[in-house]
Amino acid sequence: MPATAPTTTNTLSATITDVVDGDTVNIQYENGTEDTVRLLGVDTPEVYGENDPTEYEGVPDTEAGKQCLEDAGDAASSHVKSELSIGEQITLELDSESDGRGYYGRLLAYIQDDGQNLNYNLVDSGHARVYDSQFSLSDSFYSAESAAQAAERGLWQCRNVGSEDGSGSLSIAEIHADAAGNDNYNLNDEYVVFENSGSETLDMAGWTVSDAAGHSYTFPSDASIAAEATVTLHTGSGSDTTSDRYWGASGAVWNNGGDTVTVTDSSGSVVATKSY
């Protein structure tokens, strides 16, 4: 459930002019004045700079951890862009317990969108961590964060990357969701490319690839990726090789409008995830 609005607030009406990333938007007030809003109480992974995994409890401070957070940042930005359309009118709520403006003079505020607190929902869905600062909803935000961590939602899946077996060297290099023509009639032009950036061969026997809807493919017992090599998983059917694998699905899997690719190892731990 969305968080209850603070008891003491000032509200402002504004129009969205741009979504900068998962926690920052540009707005225009009714009088034509423009401003930048930093969503109060939340922090989503960076998309324009390098992430520091130590800021995200339990995420390993490795290249795999940084890459996973980068992907999570992209997912958070995509989520906010899907919630807030350019030209959409929203309500800003200012919290009397917080500083009025943060770094770079950005306005600190909650965004009420369709009757829900977008800031809270970002934390609850795992798209953001709680930013340690003074604001009246901090207790409910931290509770939502704990629940998201326990369920390994969103960015908290990054806690499982970079395991000692070398699986942290796996990345999702490309997602080609939109096949030429009708996807359902050109299944092998719908594919995902996985890359092993490590120095040793990755044994992928029993590893699973799944989408947001729960469709899944499991790599067979002979599956592996050589060091610094790639393997492409095609949705359709064909003869498996070291560089190409075939899902054997009867219809398209990856949504052209956006989806999430998740790879888990044979123990069920998330190795890599990427949203588009």
As a whole number of angstroms, the distance between CA 154 and CA 89 comes to: 27
| Strand, helix or coil for residue 244 | strand
- Phi, psi angles (nearest 5°) of residue 68: -65, -40
Beta 208-210 vs 260-264: how paired, if at all? antiparallel
Catalytically annotated residue among 93, 106, 129, 145:
106
Q: Which residues, 6 or more positions from 261, have their beta carbon under 8 angstroms from its beta carbon? A: 172, 175, 192, 209, 210, 211, 254, 272, 273, 274, 275, 276
- Please confirm, yes or no, whether 245 is among the known catalytic residues: no
**Residues 64, 53: contact at Cβ < 8 Å?**
no
- Please confirm, yes or no, whether 106 is among the known catalytic residues: yes
As a whole number of angstroms, the distance between CA 176 and CA 173 comes to: 10
- Please confirm, yes or no, whether 46 is among the known catalytic residues: yes
Catalytically annotated residue among 38, 129, 159, 245:
38
In total, the chain counts a number of residues equal to: 276
Active-site positions read 38, 46, 106
